[in-house]
Amino acid sequence: MRRLFIIIFLLLPFFHSQADEHVVLYRIGEKDPVAWNLLSKYFTSKGYNVSTYEGTDSLEKHIENVNRINKGKGSLLLAIDFNIGETNHVLIAITDAKKRKGNVLAIEEVPAIHESNSKELATLLASSFNRGVKQLPLFPLLGVDMPGIFLRMECTKEKAGEMLNKLHDSLQKYFRRGIKR
């Protein structure tokens, strides 16, 4: 019995579960139902807990979304524009928000708290897709109190699986970055 516990303890790091990895998807851009169904099924099949929120141009509606997002237990937020199309293209961006001095943060400063983790996630994704990371003012990340990035991904039906696998691999590298093997 003792050997069994030792074996399980030694093998435990090799069985990493995504159960604690809660990805928040903030849907923006075209909301192609076929693409979103594919994306949702893909994340579910990989074992992620997923929450999806509809993006908006209204500040009031966005603040309502952000309040719900921040109350959840999300690990990261992907403000994502995902489409099946004619080309394979990826754009990765982080917010240009900066934290000023003081203890009380303005809504536009909140994402800056997670700047290093967001930058790390964006860099992992960018390296998987051989892209650079842009720094932009990102409305979807306004007020979000967790690491977050903007991702625009268009792919052909033939390349969808490959591109989603790259996304998944990058997310796993990000989630496992503290686990040494």
Residue 151's CATH number: 3.40.630.40
Mean pLDDT of the chain: 87
Region 13-41 average pLDDT: 78
Domain count of the chain?
A: 1
pLDDT at 148: 96
> With contact defined as beta carbons under 8 Å apart, do 110 and 145 qualify?
yes
pLDDT greater than 90 at residue 5: no
List, in order, residues 6 or more apart from 58 with CB less than 8 Å away. Answer: none
Q: Is residue 131 part of a domain?
A: yes
Q: Is residue 78 part of a domain?
A: yes
pLDDT at 179: 57
Residue 78 belongs to domain spanning: 18-175
Q: Is residue 3 part of a domain?
A: no
User: What is the value of pTM for the model shown?
Assistant: 0.83
Q: Is residue 41 part of a domain?
A: yes
Q: Is residue 57 part of a domain?
A: yes
Q: How confident is the model at residue 44 (pLDDT cuts 50, 70, 90)?
A: very high
Region 43-60 average pLDDT: 94
pLDDT greater than 50 at residue 14: no
Burial 46-68 (b: 16+ CB within 10 A, else e): bebbbeebebbeeeeebeebbee
Q: Is residue 108 part of a domain?
A: yes
pLDDT greater than 50 at residue 137: yes
pLDDT at 11: 40
pLDDT greater than 80 at residue 18: no
Region 149-178 average pLDDT: 94
> With contact defined as beta carbons under 8 Å apart, do 93 and 138 qualify?
yes
Q: Is residue 7 part of a domain?
A: no
Amino acid present at 98: K
Question: CA-CA distance, 85 to 75, in Å (whole number)?
Answer: 29
Region 21-41 average pLDDT: 91
